[in-house]
Amino acid sequence: MDWIFLSELAINGALTGLLYSLFAIGLVLIYKASSVPNLAQGGLTMVGAYVVLALSHDAGLPLWLAIPLAAVIMFGLGFGIERVALRRLAGRPVVMILMMTLGLDIFLRGTTLAIWGGTSRSMELGVSYEPFFLGDIFVSRIHLVGAGVAISLFVAFMLFFRSRTGIKLRAIADDYMASWSVGISVERGVGLSWALASVVAVAAGVIWGEIQGVDQALSLLLLKGLTVAVLGGLDSILGAVVAGIILGIIENVGADFLDPLVGGGSRELIVAAVLILTVMIRPHGLFGRHDIERV
């Protein structure tokens, strides 16, 4: 076995994994505050990417202005979605909340494609595709940039959760009844978590849009993002980052071993297997809280 090749696979896998984390952080933020599994995160990511494109390509703004502006718009959209769709369902069985987020996902995807069309477009971030060598190891630049964004978002959220607003969010995540009784506005906190998740979706949309083009496939990240979030523990941001790296490595190295055996395309299979095994063996994930109800 070629060690350099193996470490190249592992490092590139870890970088891709951090990009999954970028997606999963959005899921975790919402789950942490409101115990809502946000299956619409894929749709939000897609909307985020298309909004950036609309501002930069269609309206002609420079990217450094378009991305923050898109983040602001998505912040509002996230708040709006929580206010209109999710708040009314608070306290309902999880199956209805799941269906609501699935419906939102379908709606966001359909509307985006109806407005901007389904042909794949490129983000044109301006990151060069020149190979970049770490010693003997080939690394893709855009993946490095994305991993950097993921790590800096992680650090930003770690700092944010130490601020006054962040502490309120943590209190809501811990026990919303108690938060209510000490005067924390739980509704606003949950709305804020949706808004922040939508901003994260812009970041994920921009990076993934650069890598694979802006089209419907962006919402297919959902399975990988969910797997990362569950493996890390649905309510742990640190878990999302660590699990992203782990899943990326397993997927990249595993696919290299399995692809010749099964004739290609084993990535999906590996991800699904990791998800099933995690739920079966350790449903609360690596860093999640232990209060998962078992049968």
Partner 1 sequence: MFYRLSGVHHANYVSDSRIFKVPADRNLAIFVFLFGLAAPFLLPSLYLNSYMLPWLIWTAAALGLNLVTGWAGQLHLGYAAVMAVGAYSAIHAARFGVPWEFALIIGGLASSVIGSLFAFAALRVKGLYLALTTLAMQFVMDWVLTHSPAISGGSHASLQSPTLALLGQDITSDTGYYYVAFGWCLLVTIFMLNLKRTGLGRALVAVREKDFAAAILGVNSFYYKILAFAASSFIAGVSGALLVATFFFLAAPEQFSVAVSIQVLAMVIVGGLGSIIGSYLGVALILLVPGLVNGIVAGGSQSLGMQINVETLAHIPNAVYGALIVIILLIEPLGLGKLYGNIRDYLMVWPFDQLRK
Binding residues vs partner 1 (CB under 8 A): 37, 84-85, 88-89, 92, 94-96, 98-100, 102-111, 113-115, 117-119, 223, 226-227, 230, 262-263, 265, 268-269, 271-273, 275-276, 279-280, 283, 292-295
In the complex, what is the shortest distance from the CB of residue 271 to partner 1, in angstroms, rounded to a whole number?
Answer: 8
Identify which of residues 99 and 238 has a Cβ nearer to partner 1 in the complex. 99
User: Which DSSP helix (H) or strand (E) runs through 138?
Assistant: strand 137-139
Identify which of residues 59 and 84 has a Cβ nearer to partner 1 in the complex. 84
In the complex, what is the shortest distance from the CB of residue 262 to partner 1, in angstroms, rounded to a whole number?
Answer: 6
Identify which of residues 71 and 250 has a Cβ nearer to partner 1 in the complex. 250
Query: Rounded to an integer, what distance in angstroms lies between the CA atom of residue 268 and that of residue 259?
Result: 11
What is each CA distance from 243 to 85, 207, 247, 278, in whole angstroms?
A: 30, 19, 6, 11
Identify which of residues 21 and 143 has a Cβ nearer to partner 1 in the complex. 21
In the complex, what is the shortest distance from the CB of residue 226 to partner 1, in angstroms, rounded to a whole number?
Answer: 6
CB 224 within 8 A of CB 23: yes
In the complex, what is the shortest distance from the CB of residue 36 to partner 1, in angstroms, rounded to a whole number?
Answer: 9
CB 215 within 8 A of CB 118: yes
CB 109 within 8 A of CB 44: no
Identify which of residues 59 and 276 has a Cβ nearer to partner 1 in the complex. 276
In the complex, what is the shortest distance from the CB of residue 76 to partner 1, in angstroms, rounded to a whole number?
Answer: 18
Query: Rounded to an integer, what distance in angstroms lies between the CA atom of residue 253 and that of residue 11?
Result: 10
Query: Rounded to an integer, what distance in angstroms lies between the CA atom of residue 45 and that of residue 38?
Result: 12
In the complex, what is the shortest distance from the CB of residue 140 to partner 1, in angstroms, rounded to a whole number?
Answer: 26
Identify which of residues 88 and 141 has a Cβ nearer to partner 1 in the complex. 88
Q: With 0-12 CB in 10 A as exposed, 13-18 as middle and 19+ as buried, what is 264?
A: exposed
